[in-house]
């Protein structure tokens, strides 16, 4: 199941990333046309005055097997590095259902068959967010980074530490002064170090979330 989830998640994320990049390229081309022609329509540019932002998001994280999933909550802090690139740090929690889903087969191998929305995870991460020139209030972006994750399937007494990398795409829109609505999809992939003689196991999940971000200054 895990490899199927990974393949589907990668394809979904690739489609989103391709669409985001296509929009960004089209908008860049339009911007160049405007720059070389009619100067009465200014090209939208990111706010060069903002330097810090915070955000909260709520969504769904889909894992499977020994990758936790469930209702997802995320908090983010962003600090401007360049005009379009921001340092992004955050915390991410997923809370799924329980139930004993692990057993030993006839050969004595410890086998787990958790669903997409089982388990619990708590993660801290650091990465980079790259904005593309948007249209009016809309701004697409891509994000990538690394995380350190606590993994737990309590009913099966499975605990451990995960080290996932993440890649995501999204868009946000300004709805009020210093208030922006954001939505994105993020793919995580890496490994977990688990007890119960499981050792090193693959860790992959897909999260979709929406929320709000606030400009601090």
- Binned average pLDDT, 10 residues per bin, the chain of 217 residues: 46 50 48 48 52 96 94 96 94 92 84 92 97 82 97 94 97 91 97 92 96 91
- Give pLDDT tens digits for 154-200: 999 999 999 999 999 999 998 988 899 999 999 999 999 999 888 99
Q: Give the distance, in angstroms, between the CA of residue 180 and the centroid of all CA atoms in the same chain.
A: 17
What are the Cα distances from residue 32, in Å, to 29, 82, 204?
5, 21, 40
Render the burial of 178-216: b for 16+ CB within 10 Å, e for the rest: eebbbebbbbbbbbbebeeeeeebebbbbbbbebbbebe
Mean pLDDT over the full length of the chain: 83
Q: Give the distance, in angstroms, between the CA of residue 13 and the centroid of all CA atoms in the same chain.
A: 10
Closest Cα to residue 74, out of 100, 54, 52?
Answer: 54
């Amino acid at each position: 199941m895990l490899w199927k989830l990974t393949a589907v998640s990668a394809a979904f994320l690739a489609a989103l990333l391709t669409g985001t990049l296509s929009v960004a390229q089209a908008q860049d081309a339009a911007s160049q046309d405007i720059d070389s022609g009619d100067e009465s329509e200014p090209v939208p540019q990111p706010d060069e005055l903002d330097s810090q932002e915070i955000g909260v998001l709520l969504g769904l994280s889909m894992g499977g097997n020994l990758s936790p999933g469930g209702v997802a909550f995320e908090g983010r802090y962003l600090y401007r590095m360049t005009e379009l690139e921001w340092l992004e740090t955050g915390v991410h929690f997923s809370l799924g259902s329980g139930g004993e889903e692990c057993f030993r087969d006839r050969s004595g191998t410890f086998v787990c068959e958790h669903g997409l929305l089982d388990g619990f995870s708590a993660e801290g991460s650091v990465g980079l967010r790259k904005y593309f020139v948007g249209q009016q209030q809309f701004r697409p972006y891509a994000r990538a980074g690394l995380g350190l994750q606590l993994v737990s399937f309590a009913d099966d007494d499975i605990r451990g530490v995960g080290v996932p990398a993440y890649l995501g795409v999204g868009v946000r829109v300004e709805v009020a002064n210093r208030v922006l609505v954001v939505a994105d999809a993020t793919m995580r992939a890496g490994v977990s170090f688990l007890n119960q003689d499981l050792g090193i196991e693959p860790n992959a999940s897909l999260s979709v979330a929406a929320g709000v971000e606030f400009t601090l200054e």
